[in-house]
Structure 1
Amino acid sequence: MSKPTYVHDYQAIVEVLNKYNEGCKQAKSGIMKPAFSEQATIFGVDVEGKLVGGPIQGLFDAIDNPPFRPSPEAQSVFVNIDIVGTAASARIDTNDVSGFCFTDFFNLLKIEGKWTVVSKIYHTHVTP
């Protein structure tokens, strides 16, 4: 028995997550919305160490308003993508999104042949 390679799935996941990256760069949630399930969630920890987040609409609202602004200089790297069947996780590190640096962890599911983000957690790095 051979192990699946998931090459096509990897490429499809990168395409989905690039919608998120481009939405961050342009500060337009409409670009990233197709990457997410309507039921997706987002969570992180604020500067006081408290859990923040909830429905993904919170991300969209944040992206469309200050302090977020177009950041064409933002750079992202896919640190890893792990795929097993219809489930996947991905880590993206991004620098210079409106002066912030993030590490994002995404959970994705392949639903009816299409990859979609169902949850995102993040860490905001302290910048000098």
Structure 2
Amino acid sequence: MQTEPTPTTEDIYRVWRADRRLSPGAALVYMRRIRSFRSYCAEHGLIEREELTLERANRFIGWYARRQNLDPRSLGLFRSALQSLNRVYHSMGLAPPDWRSPRPAKPPATPLLAEYADYLLRHRGNPQVTVHKKLQHFQSQVPLMCKNRGFSGAALLAANGGKKTAGPVVSNDQWLHALIPTNARRGEASMSQTDEILITAAVQGYVLAMSTAAEEGLRAAFHPHASIVGNFEGAVEWLSVDAYVGEVLGAGLPPSHSPNWTVVSLDITDDAATVKVEDEFGSTKFTDYLALLKIAGEWKIISKLYHLHN
């Protein structure tokens, strides 16, 4: 039996209005899913606050999918709604558990990655969690992105001062040499070349997350207070990140792991950048104008202005 204080419906709407992350329509959709979750907790004698983790939310989604004979992959909005409820608990000082259990950081895989990690810590002032994310980003995203941008052995040769390297450009260390000027690794010069690479990688992460309906990737690409704006079906659509994630997950499109996308233009001034991207969501073509800001060493999309092509 529920014995702990829980936010009322009025409390939840009040926090959402103050937070300004959800549109009224998205708030209604989230609230319907929260009511289903609360019925589940009551039926099973669970304490709501303790169930507000990603792992337990997935357990609830599995139960709900079986009861309603639904595909759990179509229920991503439940996950978004419960994560939003977790934030309501935080805002009200009700001490919910961490939504996601922290993962132990792995040591850098190679000496040069270790050198880069040390540079980020000592010269850029990045916290350890940011360093860990950047190393993961380099190892998973950058090779794909460089292939898309046409990096070649010539770029690697130039980045290494004309010194040839054995074999094809495949290792993480070789990618880092190609992407990070030697003097930048020593903290002696601008990181503009690396910024261009990291911005393009961030944009690719956004496109891939959108085309595969990957909630975590979408939330990682955007600043929490970012806006997504454009004309849709004859009216101006002005979405928060939560509402946008809900729209993508709720579209129910089959995932595309090789989406069509092109960086048309990229402009950087120190810690601010704009990128014009042509991409597709399902069979619909978009032109996106993305504004990015470098925050604690990471490039985040702070606004997306889109044009939907007929």
The TM-score, its normalising length taken from structure 2, stands at 0.37
1:44 aligns with 230
1:53 aligns with 238
2:192 aligns with 6
Larger strand share, 1 or 2: 1
2: distance between equivalents of 1:69 and 1:53?
25
Matched, 1:98 2:248: no
2:295 maps to amino acid: I
**Alpha-carbon deviation of 1:94?**
1.1
Query: Does the aligned pair in 2 maintain the 1:79–1:91 contact within 8 Å?
Result: yes
Matched, 1:18 2:204: yes
1: distance between equivalents of 2:306 and 2:269?
22
Q: Which runs of 4+ in 1 moved over 4 A?
A: none
2:266 aligns with 81
**Alpha-carbon deviation of 1:83?**
0.2
1: distance between equivalents of 2:305 and 2:285?
14
Q: Secondary structure at the match of 1:70?
A: coil
Gaps of 5+ in 2: 1-189
Q: 1:19-34 residue pairs with structure 2 within 5 A?
A: 19-34=205-220
2:63 aligns with none
**Alpha-carbon deviation of 1:30?**
1.9
Gaps of 5+ in 1: none
**Alpha-carbon deviation of 1:73?**
4.9
2: distance between equivalents of 1:84 and 1:68?
36
Residues 109, 73 of structure 1: alpha-carbon distance in 2 compared, 3 angstrom cutoff: closer
1: distance between equivalents of 2:254 and 2:304?
21
**Alpha-carbon deviation of 1:5?**
7.9
Q: Secondary structure at the match of 2:256?
A: coil
Query: Does the aligned pair in 2 maintain the 1:19–1:35 contact within 8 Å?
Result: yes
2:306 maps to amino acid: Y
**Alpha-carbon deviation of 1:29?**
2.4
Deviations 1:37-76 (A, max 9, x none): 111111011221x211131222211111125331345200
Q: Secondary structure at the match of 1:42?
A: strand
Larger helix share, 1 or 2: 2
Query: Does the aligned pair in 2 maintain the 1:87–1:108 contact within 8 Å?
Result: yes
Alignment RMSD (CA, Å): 1.7
Identify which range, 84-93 or 25-34, moves more after superposition: 25-34
Deviations 1:59-111 (A, max 9, x none): 2111111253313452000011100011100011013x211111111101111
1: distance between equivalents of 2:200 and 2:297?
15
Matched, 1:111 2:295: yes
2: distance between equivalents of 1:94 and 1:107?
16
Higher RCO, 1 vs 2 (CA within 8 Å, ≥6 residues apart)? 1
Query: Does the aligned pair in 1 maintain the 2:208–2:259 contact within 8 Å?
Result: no
Task: Give the length in aligned residue pairs.
Answer: 121
